[in-house]
A = this chain, B = another copy of it.
Amino acid sequence: MNVIVGQSGGPTSVINASLAGVYQAARKAGAEKVYGMENGIAGLLEGRLLDLNALLDEEIKIELLKRTPSSFLGSCRYKLKKAEEDESEYKKVFSLLEQYQIGWFFYIGGNDSMDTISKLSEYGKRIGSPIRFVGVPKTIDNDLMITDHTPGYGSAAKFVATVMKEIIRDATVYGTNYVTIVEIMGRNAGWLTAASALARGEDSEGVDMICLPEIPFTVEGFLKKVTAMQKKKKSIVIAVSEGVKLPDGRYVCELSDNVQDVDSFGHKKLTGTARYLANECAKALNTKTRAIELSTLQRCCGHLTSRTDITEAYQVGGAAVLAAQSGKSGVAITLVRLSDKPYQCTTGTVEIERIANFEKKIPVEWINSTHTDMLPPFLDYARPLIQAELPPFYVDGLPYHITAN
């Protein structure tokens, strides 16, 4: 019996740790061959498979894989049509899976990738296929339902909190009026932007304002708050989600002049929110401003990861194999928190329909009444996820990565 595994959606720093978990657990569970889909389901449809037994044939390669950011197998943003509308892709996938004698199918991804698992397992059930389909969660956005959190979030949150501490130090050195606006990923859920609240501590004043997509945003209200803050404090550092929206539902970045396009899932490309708001501050206040977009750095920062996150990413990969081995299909692996202090977490499974195509947002009771900061329940939730480090292997001064070709 052989196994296949793919990666889909936006990369994370630890998505390859899940791949390592799937690979090692599958081999241990008796899989003869473990195939990787090149570029996810899109590559599978073109018959592009990688032989992971050959690519990961030494222990050192597994360790490198855990320390290599971004999808080792390549990724895609490919949405399967509904089987009722067009069965051809499904026929092709199942014929390929039979050809390669695949018993278990694993897909590492976020919301949209769980949709793929859901459709394939549903179709498989309908045609009586014995192949088992299991989803392995990953996303820096942390917006999956049911699971306590998603692998990928902890490392991205650690990067965000770390660079916010550094940006705050940089922004205060001149002792002059200065508004720094940092734009952080998160289309509809502000989990990653909220992680900037972790920067505050005895050695850091922390960020001064956090703007989440969960809370309707007005430019006037924003400028009023910044004006009030800068009367008390010269350097103001603000974390703003790329997804903040006006009360009428438009994204704030749509107010600016930036070029926009739409991906195959219909998501608008969001960028320019920080720049737009910095320009508005420069016009309204007597202050220098700076807009910083963390951009892709926050999702590919393999040089600064959370060891907790890497360990859990590896564990969910292994748990997915155990779920398939025990006969489950059409499920996703979840992380189940047992306690906050001390932090303890285990894995579980959930029917894929309960997780696909939903988005988990931040509970409003975790946001303060003026909508500028996170409350202690959020900090207690997020702090354990950024603990400990797993440094890269440095070769000649730079992190060394493993590549598939």
Return chain B residues, CB-CB under 8 Å to A170: 11, 69-70, 296, 299-300
Scan A218-236; emit 1 where CB is below 8 A from any B CB, else 0.
Answer: 0000000000000000000
Interface residues of A in 40-95 (CB under 8 A from B): 43, 68-71, 74-77
A203 touches B259 (CB 8 A): no
- Chain B residue numbers with a CB within 8 Å of A400 are 203
In whole angstroms, how far apart are the Cα atoms of A257 and B272 in the complex? 13
> How far does the Cβ of A162 sit from chain B's closest Cβ, in whole Å?
5
**From B171, B295, B397, contact of A388 by CB (8 A):** B397
Q: Is the CB of B391 within 8 A of A391?
A: yes
Q: Which of A197-229 contact B (CB under 8 A)?
A: 198-199, 201, 203-204
Query: Is A346 an interface residue when CB atoms closer than 8 A count as contact?
Result: no
In contact, A174 and B74 (Cβ under 8 angstroms)? yes
Point out the residues of chain B lying under 8 angstroms from A302, CB to CB: 166
A165 adjacent to chain B (CB < 8 Å): yes
- A203 engages B401 (CB within 8 Å): yes
Q: Is A129 an interface residue (CB 8 A)?
A: no
Specify which of B163, B259, B306, B401 is in contact with A297 (CB 8 Å cutoff).
B163
| Given the contacts A174-B74, A257-B257, A304-B304, A387 and B391 also touching, CB distance less than 8 Å | no
CB distance from A163 to the nearest CB of B (A): 6
Residue of B whose beta carbon sits closest to that of A198: B398
Given A165-B399, A201-B398, A403-B203, answer yes or no on A295-B301 (Cβ-Cβ < 8 Å): no
- Asked whether A127 is an interface residue with its Cβ less than 8 Å from the other chain, the reply is no
Find chain B residues with CB under 8 A from A201 CB. Answer: 395-396, 398
A292, A386, A399, A400 — which one has the most chain B CB atoms within 10 A of its CB?
A399
- Asked if A397 contacts B402 (CB within 8 A), the reply is no
The listed residue (B162, B167, B175, B399) touching A398 by CB distance below 8 A is B162
Q: Which of B162, B180, B204, B293 contacts A293 (CB 8 A)?
A: B293
Q: Which residues of B contact A69 (CB under 8 A)?
A: 166, 169-170
- B75 and A174: CB pair below 8 A? yes
Contact residue among B38, B169, B171, B198 (Cβ-Cβ distance under 8 Å from A397): B198
| B174 in contact with A76 (CB, 8 Å) | yes
Residues of chain B within 8 A of A158, CB atoms compared: 397-398
Instruction: Tell me the smallest distance from the CB of A273 to a CB of chain B, in Å.
Output: 14
- Known interface pairs A39-B175, A76-B174, A166-B296; 18 further A-B residue pairs with C-beta atoms within 8 A, sorted by A's residue number: A11-B170, A43-B175, A68-B169, A70-B170, A158-B398, A161-B397, A162-B399, A163-B297, A163-B301, A165-B399, A198-B398, A199-B398, A203-B402, A204-B401, A292-B297, A388-B397, A389-B391, A391-B391
Identify 28 residue pairs between A and B in the complex whose beta-carbon atoms are under 8 Å apart, listed by A's number: A11-B170, A39-B175, A70-B166, A75-B173, A75-B174, A161-B397, A161-B398, A163-B297, A163-B303, A165-B398, A165-B399, A166-B296, A166-B399, A170-B296, A180-B296, A198-B397, A198-B398, A201-B398, A203-B400, A203-B401, A203-B402, A204-B403, A292-B297, A293-B295, A303-B304, A383-B396, A386-B398, A388-B397
Which A-B residue pairs are the 10 nearest by beta carbons?
A386-B397, A70-B169, A170-B300, A75-B173, A166-B300, A292-B295, A387-B397, A71-B173, A203-B401, A70-B170
